[in-house]
Structure 1
Amino acid sequence: MEYVSTRGGAEAVDFEGALFSGYAPDGGLFMPQHIPSLDRDTLQRWSSFSYPELVKELCSLFITAELVPRNTLNDLIDRAFSRFRHKDVVHMSRLKDGLNVLELYHGVTFAFKDLSLSCTGQFLQYFLEKKQKHVTILVGTSGDTGSSAIESVRGQKNMDIFVLLPKGFCTQIQELQMTTVIEKNVHVFAAHGNSDEIDEPIKELFADVNFARKYNLMSLNSVNWSRIMVQIAHYFYAYFQCTPCLDTTPLPVVEIVVPTGGGGNITAGCIAQKMGLPIRLVAVVNSNDIIHRAVQHGDYSLSESVKTTLASAMDIQEPYNVERILWLLSGSDSRLIKMLMEQFSVSKRIKLPEDLHRNLSETLRSCSVSDEDIVRAIQRCWLENQYLLCPHSAVAAHYHYSQPDSIPRCCLAPASAAKFQDALLRADMVLQLPPELTVLTAMETRSTPLERGQDWAQVLRGQIEAAAQQ
């Protein structure tokens, strides 16, 4: 299994090469050269598997046994999930009106990113110990990625992690989950800018090939293929939990509704679909609706500004994983993707070619949801089920409540409601915080401010160089 850049200008790499990369050297994103296809017998066999078993099976298709022997791979994944609060790692809640909610947030930071990042942290540690190597991890976060990434590598001697958070755009709990981690290898920066703005200095450092090579820069954002790979399991688990049986021909279809920000999770869904899983995908976004406009009209263009919403982790205007989806749907046409992405880089606006737009709209449904819709979905779900949704999960629930059909459907729930007290208050709800989150307010914090007007890339360079000398 080799991985190629979506833009076609980088040499193919193995899983280890993709794992230790951020963007590919040509600015593209790594994808498997071939997507494995699963037959009906395999789906039948997998249908009784637990979530961790599905992760193991799927990862073994994308990581060769020569790189990571299967027994070792199984052990790494077991270790990754050992800190999860739920015995099944993830949990399906079956609620009234056919609302199925797949809870993906039972990890340390109460967010779905713990699932992929805990595994990715184990894969990194395996290769680093084997090769006695040190890496520098650069992460921009809109809320949950930063804390999950920190938890996956904190205290490790062969990794330094540098996290940029958008000051004032995360919830207090999200910010505290990052700034209260006082470890020698953890460096948190509170930037006075939004999620898209903090990506710019990170891209600049990765584009400096000599600097990136000297300090072994890598990313744990969902530009990293490893995160996409683990997330494919969400779709198989959701499908098997929601399909009545696998004895019919054709196999029954399950609709999976995906709260979408940077697009990593929905990319994993597109790959699952390509592998032969009979799912219908819905990308649900908040008022930052670039993906919705691309699906509906072929209009992939920035709005004037990022809108602040209750579903703050989805307040993103440049969902970089769309590049992976377009590459998949173009038949791996890297020349076309390179042209489109370079055009977007300059003008921040592209009109998708007719064939590509048709493929996209046939692969994905989409829906844009307002803050008022989020509040109503939270209130309705509580009224009917005494079950609290986080605002991102409520984006998916709103779509479900608006559909007249009774197709089997699963809404992915990316985070615990406990992390979003302000959104709950808007819905006239109060939730008692779990002790793991309550304790954060009394802990020491540490972060470095990045002010407007500063050269953020230069500040990061200096800090990375200083950390390397310690």
Structure 2
Amino acid sequence: MKYVSTRGHTDRKHFCEILLEGLAPDGGLYLPEVYPQVDAATLESWRGLPYAALAFEILSLYIDDIPAADLKAICEKTYTEDVFGSKEIVPLRMLEDGVYLEALSNGPTLAFKDMAMQLLGNLFEYELVRRGEELNILGATSGDTGSAAEYAMRGKKGVRVFMTSPQGRMSPFQQAQMFSLQDANIHNIAIEGVFDDCQDIVKAVSNDLAFKRKYKIGTVNSINWARLVAQVVYYFAGYLQATQASTGAALTEVQKVSFTVPSGNFGNVCAGHVARMMGLPIDKLVVATNENDVLDEFFRMGVYRVRGSADTHETSSPSMDISKASNFERFVFDLVGRDASRLADLFGTQLAAQGRFDLSGDAAFQAAAQRYGFVSGKSTHADRLQTIRDTFARFGMMIDTHTADGLKVARAHLQSGVPMLVLETALPIKFAATIEEALGCMPPRPARFEGIENLPKRVTLLAADAELVKSFIRSRVS
């Protein structure tokens, strides 16, 4: 299996090369040359596998430069009941007829990002030890990626983390999770701006090839293919839990399911797109946005229009306060028939000149809903408060603000006979103020996080300037 850049760079690379590289040299994102196919019989053979074994089966389709025994050991080390709180790792709970929540937030930092980041930390350490090298990870977070990355990388051999985040835009709990870490290999940088400014800095530094090579810069954002492919696994796991075992003729009439995914940077739902391209029987992929509705606007109208910092709303589902969806490029690459020159024109020339591109009259876009199964919807602060209240009143279950956005939008796209799986994104404690506003009480807090907001903070404030971030990295790398 080799990987190509969405922008057309001619090199074809193996998994471990792009694991440490992040962005391609031309600024594109990596995708496999072809999506490996999973037929109905193979899918049935995976039913009942432990999550770690399922992860090995799926990841081994994409990774051919790590010995199978080593990859299996990495999966078994990563996905354990001790780390994720249950044997299922991603247990499914039915809320009402046909509607399920897939629990992805029982890892170390209480967010779905742990599902991929714990694996990524172990992959990084394995490959760096094998090469005898070091890696300086530069990331951007709107809330959960940062803590998931830092908890996954703390103490790892040969790894330093430099994590940017928008100053004052995360919840107090999210900030405390990151800024209270005192590990020598963890560096937090608060940027005066919004998440998109942080993401732009990461891309700018990654596109400085001389700096990237000299300081061995890698990424953990979902622009890193390794993180995204790890997320593909829980789509298969959710499907296998939601459907009954098939026998005989049923193998030719496989049960379909739909997934609703709270979306900001398009990485989580892009993993669903990959799973669908592999042959997982997904009917609809429902993109749920908050007031920052760039993605909803595209799937409804065919226009991708990025917003500036001043037009990016600060909301009560802050991890989705994103107006430039990095992983969207991967989907559009498939949408335009993997035409790298067309993709480069859309995401390079047109976005730079106009801040938008329009595919509303494009024949490929017109067929996209049917071919790729995407639909979308938007949720507001009032919507998420009502959904949190309703879910607690009817099911005795607290959900976080992002999951509430997903559940609200999911109900607009239900189809008879097609299970709808809503991906949970975080536990309620990460957004306690809004939960208290909705329910009049505070959400439960795991004992290990008691008093975290009062711990000493270790963070550096910088202006939104890639050169300042590069100078900071230079000063911390020997």
Q: TM-score scaled to structure 1, two decimals?
A: 0.95
Q: In the alignment, residue 347 of structure 2 is paired with which amino acid?
A: M
Which one of the candidate residues 343, 347, 357 is aligned to 1:350? 357
Corresponding residue of 2:429:
418
Provide the residue aligned with 2:450 in structure 1: 438
Give the CA deviation at 1:218: 0.8
Task: Say if 1:96 and 1:384, in contact at 8 Å, map to a contact too.
Answer: no
Q: Which residue of 2 aligns with 1:361?
A: 369
Partner in structure 1 of residue 395 of structure 2: 385
What residue number does 2:342 align with?
Answer: 336
- How much has 1:401 moved relative to structure 2? 3.3
Cα deviation, 1:251-271, whole Å, max 9, x if unaligned, reads: 121011111110011111111
The 1:232/1:455 distance shift into structure 2, 3 A limit, reads closer
Paired residue total? 464
Structure 1 segment 221-260 matched on structure 2, within 5 A: 221-247=221-247, 248=250, 249-260=252-263
Provide closer, same or farther for how the CA distance between residues 230 and 399 of structure 1 changes in structure 2, counting only shifts above 3 A: same
Q: State how 1:51-200 maps to structure 2 within 5 Å.
A: 51-64=51-64, 67-82=65-80, 83-200=83-200
Q: Distance in 2 between matches of 1:360 and 1:184?
A: 47
Contact 1:326 1:356 in 2 (8 A): no
In the alignment, structure 1 residue 315 sits paired with structure 2 residue 321: yes
Query: 3-state DSSP class of the match of 1:138?
Result: strand
CA deviation vs aligned residue, 1:28-67 (integer Å, no higher than 9, x gap) = 1000001011111101111222322221111000001xx2
Per mean C-alpha deviation after superposition, the further-off stretch among 107-116 and 79-88 is: 79-88
Moved more, 223-232 or 302-311: 302-311
Moved more, 69-78 or 316-325: 69-78
Relative to 1, partners in 2 of residues 1:449 and 1:468: Cα closer, same or farther, differing over 3 Å?
A: same
Q: Secondary structure at the match of 1:73?
A: helix
CA deviation after TM superposition for structure 1 residue 87, in Å: 3.0
* 1:271 equivalenced with 2:274 (yes/no): yes
Q: Which amino acid aligns with 2:253?
A: P
The residue type equivalent to 2:214 in the other structure is: K
**Residues 187 and 45 from structure 1, CA distance in 2 versus in 1: closer, same or farther, beyond 3 angstroms?**
same
Equivalent position of 1:464 in the other structure: 473
Would the aligned equivalents of 2:293 and 2:378 in 1 still touch at CA under 8 Å?
Answer: yes
Which amino acid counterpart does residue 350 of structure 1 have in structure 2? F
- 8 Å Cα contact 2:125-2:157 kept in structure 1: no
Given residue 295 of structure 1, which amino acid in structure 2 is its aligned partner?
F
Question: Residues 404 and 77 from structure 1, CA distance in 2 versus in 1: closer, same or farther, beyond 3 angstroms?
Answer: closer
TM-score (norm 2): 0.94
Give the CA RMSD over aligned residues: 1.5
| More deviation, 460-469/390-399 | 460-469
> Is the 1:10–1:24 Cα contact (8 Å) retained in structure 2?
no
Specify the code of the residue in structure 2 equivalent to 1:367: G
Q: Secondary structure of the residue that 1:198 maps to in structure 2?
A: helix
* 1:299 maps onto 2:303 in alignment: yes
Identity among equivalent positions (%) equals 30
Unaligned runs of 5+ in 2: none
